[in-house]
Amino acid sequence: MQTSNSINGKQVNVPPQMAERLVRGEMTVGEFVGLTPNTLYAIANVGYQMLQSGKLDAALVIYKGLVAASPYDSVFHCHLATVYAAQEQYEEAIQSYTQALTYNRGNVDALAGRGEMYLRQSKILEALNDLKAAVEGDPQAKRPSAVRARAMLLGLKEKVDAQQKAAQK
């Protein structure tokens, strides 16, 4: 027996087993409404275009929706974090990068992004750990985030070397 509901004047029939799976957390909202991974990533591409063109509020809406539709996708959490970082909402960025790493602890973009946020907060040890992991995760530096992580590590090393040199004088 299907559950019948009216939404905006239209009858919507929901098979009870699907509703039960959604309630038990066995399927995402995106799966429940029939969004395929390809469709979700096409939407993410629109969000990325918004982010790249500086339309941060639009990108935020898109990525929040993607995270709601597919809450276990590391990439969506990472991109949401990137929007938060661009909006200078650093705590939210760290939370979203951390969530991304919950679902893929090798996400180089999330490691580099969170490392950068930690640097902004002067959490040097945490930053070093994340930046080092990002570089190790992409030793050929094929991803721009790995290149940034490497540059940040080199910058930190130069600072430490300069401080040690000054202390010896």
Please report, rounded to a whole number, the percentage of residues in the chain having pLDDT higher than 90: 70
- Alpha helices, H only, the chain: 16-23, 29-32, 37-52, 56-69, 74-86, 90-103, 108-120, 124-137, 144-168
Residue spans per domain, the chain: 29-163
Asked if residues 19 and 3 have their Cβ atoms less than 8 Å apart, the reply is: yes
Q: Which position has the token pair 């570089």?
A: 135
pTM: 0.84
Question: What kind and span of H or E run contains 13?
Answer: strand 10-14
- Say whether pLDDT at 4 is over 60: no
| Residue pLDDT, tens place only, 50-101 | 999 999 999 999 999 999 999 999 999 999 999 999 999 999 999 999 999 9
| Residue pLDDT, tens place only, 131-140 | 999 999 999 9
Nearest alpha-carbon partner for 110 in 149, 165, 64: 149
**Residue 18: what pLDDT?**
76
Q: Which CATH number fits domain 29-163: 1.25.40.10, 1.20.1050.10, 1.10.10.60, 3.30.420.40?
A: 1.25.40.10
